[in-house]
A and B are shown apart, each in its own frame.
Chain A
């Protein structure tokens, strides 16, 4: 080994160690955050917080099926008992009467702080007369037996008013004393995890605890019932854990499959194990460098980014293929400059992704730049030092010659390319309106079956996805609650007018301190209250003496402590407050989910009315239409990605202009790449497959990888004396095969993000090679020379 070789090896070894260290210490994630913006306006920022921390993000819905209702209920109770003791859960609810009883007692206990009807007017003689008169009517109605036990302590029925204000929220059905699906076939448990939406490890621990609690409850049953019992669960934590697992297993499997397939291909061609192993040195070095760079540049490496590692195999393996296939003695002089230019064009393309607001894209950009640079440098400086002296390489000149003749024949049909271009442009024009997928869901790695189960369980539990949320925000918790009260006051008339079905608010169970104090102040002292009752009960079928429990309860409430969030801990009411009152980076947000009448969607007119009602409250609050905002966010990304990709393309063209110094040569390199991108896009459009952001990235990759091919054809044309034309061709075809294998494997992924990328790049690079060969002028000349010579 030469001195330079030894130095290069030493640097490589140190670099690899450092990168491995960084990669090992990095944190890895797979949640929605890769699809959420880094720089966002305030609305989008809240949206992101909602998606991560909002009411739905912590909810697990579990269903127990099979056997009979009593057994399912027993299992449900067993599980709830165990899960309630688990600190991984904020609350576990299965509709057991004991739980409902506790909630009811809490409301009864704090009725004079909670009820919005409590005011000085209510406690005048006239106010009491009217309220108690109405309460007597309720007592006479079908609800009578229900309110009878409360009546003497709560003759104005504040408890009932609070409970009824919960209104439109549908509690699940019950069977055998616990919640069940409407058809009664499954018992339901609802749990809120303590872990935040972004904490997938925490969510995973909660999911495992759930499964274990089921296993334990099932184990206690007789064997015959055990086998008949079934269990399923869903909700954002479950889906996040599942999608991370999917991405993880896919990344490993796809990497393994494509590495094996490429190794088999290269082994068949090289027939030399040392050469095969050496080929993977730049690939592995590049992957390691890429991960390390992303770990340094971002708070966490996204699983999807690792998935792109497969794409790196596809491109970086090419360098080693060029190195080994084209004669290595000439490598530095004849091959390296072309590779260098190819790497630079790729870097130009990927650098365009770096400024993206979409963390997934900028991670991909950084990963590719670092990975490709490392792979190219290792190929240039480390591989030559390691090359065994007596390496036995097959000479691929004969094979290359065959390809050359094939390309000559294809070249005769180059006129057809014009037709291809026209056809592709026409298809794209005809499909111009349906070309792009504008829904964020298009990127979701969640399987359709999982989504269906989620919808099913949500419907069964009466916990539909809330699409409209009024967010009231302030710096302090109490100010936030006051803002929520101001908004509630404006929304209530809309409910009464039937514009909206209803809304929820954390202030139902946790009013602001100001509101609680005002209610407390409106309560009269016992002597005054007795006198007012004497007067107010005239004409009603009871005397004040009977209402002594009421007088003493009011007296206690007057001097009692105010209600704080901590007082609600552990109850299912506290759970409601915890999910509707979110602490964010910039302060607190109160969430007021708004529901429509009998339908999941609010009509446009209702949305407008809610918006103006919210605006009229003059507090920091606004209505978020979650799906629309998310899709708008994604549309923004898509537009940005297209702009960045075009920017990257322009940067590549500029680089080529500088490097090649001849417009004709630049055109000859760029034309086949542009045509490939156009053709692939047209293919997707013709097949009715809407393009996503990942297709755009894929097109950039076509240009990055394809530019290598075009540049080699250009070199062959400009410097026919350098290198061997058949060997160059053979290396290009081999490299292209490897790339098509890597991306073809990716196209089979069940993760849409990876599949979209693979399905774009695999055909795209094949076309890029084909079109480059067909448009290259000099191939015929060298072929003619080769044929003569």
Chain B
């Protein structure tokens, strides 16, 4: 309970990776490898994003899934904001390695240094933005499939601590647009975030 932000770091960083940082994997065909290279290049060229999202969480303890919605905003190279508007307003901001959360008019911040478990995610973002594939491969097994027009990325954490909470992250997209980010937790619960319309700059 002491560090409720840890899980936020994990989720948010996963999103960040979804939108920005994808690295290669050994088991891809030559075409897929080329498409992946191209995708990385395209994503790196995007400097700014502002979109709506809806999130659906299927939890084993509940009879029906939970829904929430809000906006996502990205500014290159290292700022990402997830603003939930419904049902419970909440604002999560990852900026320069610091995560802050505002809820009920109280804002709290943590430094990622305090959460080494979360560093793989964040470091992978930095590494991808810097074109450093080797650094990304340190934390994830990355599987690219499909074409540039319709692709799927499967990220599997290699870090034992991260593995305890997150089984894998599945990201789908079309060209440089991300469509869904699905996180499957180790207990089988899933959360699926679907990107909606663009809100402009």
Contacts and interface: CB of A to CB of B under 8 A. Distances in A.
A562 interface: no
B8 interface: yes
Contact of A160 (B1, B55, B116): B1
B66 interface: yes
Interface string B1-24: 111111110111000000000000
A355 interface: no
B111 A142 contact: no
B101 A142 contact: yes
A145 B7 contact: yes
Contact of B185 (A145, A146, A543): A145
Contacts of A139: 57, 59, 62, 66
Interface stretch (B31-39, B44-52, B85-93): B85-93
Nearest to A100: B2
A541 B111 contact: no
Contacts of A467: none
Given A138-B88, A541-B64, A148 B4 contact: no
Contacts, number: 87
A466 interface: no
Chain B contact residues, majority secondary structure: mixed
Contact of A136 (B3, B66, B189): B66
A151 interface: yes
A542 B68 contact: no
B143 to A, nearest CB: 24
B147 interface: no
A543 B61 contact: no
Contacts of A137: 87-88
Contact of B61 (A100, A142, A163, A546): A546
B152 interface: no
A550 B55 CA distance: 28
Nearest to B11: A142
Contacts of B92: 142
B113 A140 contact: no
Interface string B70-86: 00000000000010100
Contact of B84 (A107, A141, A167, A541): A141
Contact of A184 (B2, B59, B82, B113): B113
A541 B66 contact: yes
B66 A151 contact: no
B165 A140 contact: no
B65 interface: yes
A175 B114 contact: yes
Interface residues of A, number: 33
A152 B61 CA distance: 8
B67 interface: yes
A174 B3 CA distance: 10
A176 B67 CA distance: 36
A144 B7 contact: yes
Interface in B92-127: 92, 101, 103, 106, 111, 113-114, 116
Contact of A173 (B5, B113, B165): B113
Interface in A125-183: 134, 136-146, 148, 151-152, 159-160, 163, 167, 171, 173-176, 182
A671 B177 CA distance: 96
Contacts of B63: 541-543, 546
A781 interface: no
A541 B92 CA distance: 26
Contacts of B103: 141
Contacts of A117: none
A104 interface: yes
Nearest to A155: B61
Contacts of B116: 175-176
Contact of B7 (A107, A143, A152, A160): A143
Contact of A163 (B1, B7, B55): B1
B172 to A, nearest CB: 22
A565 to B, nearest CB: 23
B178 to A, nearest CB: 19
B176 to A, nearest CB: 26
B111 A144 contact: no
A151 B187 CA distance: 15
Contact of A541 (B6, B11, B62): B62
Contact of B1 (A151, A152, A159): A159
B67 A140 contact: yes
Given A143-B7, A146-B7, A174-B114, A104 B1 contact: yes
B43 to A, nearest CB: 24
B61 A148 contact: yes
A134 B189 CA distance: 20
Q: Which residue, B3, B10, B59, has most C-beta atoms of chain A within 10 A?
A: B59
A151 B12 CA distance: 23
Nearest to B106: A167
Contacts of B62: 136, 139, 541-542, 546
B170 to A, nearest CB: 18
Nearest to B91: A142
Interface of B: 1-8, 10-12, 55, 57, 59, 61-68, 82, 84, 87-88, 90, 92, 101, 103, 106, 111, 113-114, 116, 165, 185, 189
Instruction: State the 9 A-B residue pairs at the shortest beta-carbon distance, nearest first.
Output: A541-B64, A137-B88, A142-B8, A140-B66, A145-B7, A163-B1, A140-B68, A137-B87, A173-B114
Interface of A: 100, 104, 107, 134, 136-146, 148, 151-152, 159-160, 163, 167, 171, 173-176, 182, 184, 541-543, 546
Given A143-B4, A160-B1, A175-B116, 13 more contacts: A100-B2, A136-B66, A138-B88, A139-B57, A140-B55, A141-B84, A141-B88, A142-B11, A143-B8, A159-B1, A167-B106, A174-B3, A541-B62
19 contacts: A136-B66, A137-B88, A139-B62, A140-B55, A140-B87, A141-B90, A141-B103, A142-B92, A143-B4, A145-B165, A146-B7, A151-B61, A167-B106, A173-B111, A175-B113, A184-B113, A542-B61, A543-B63, A546-B63
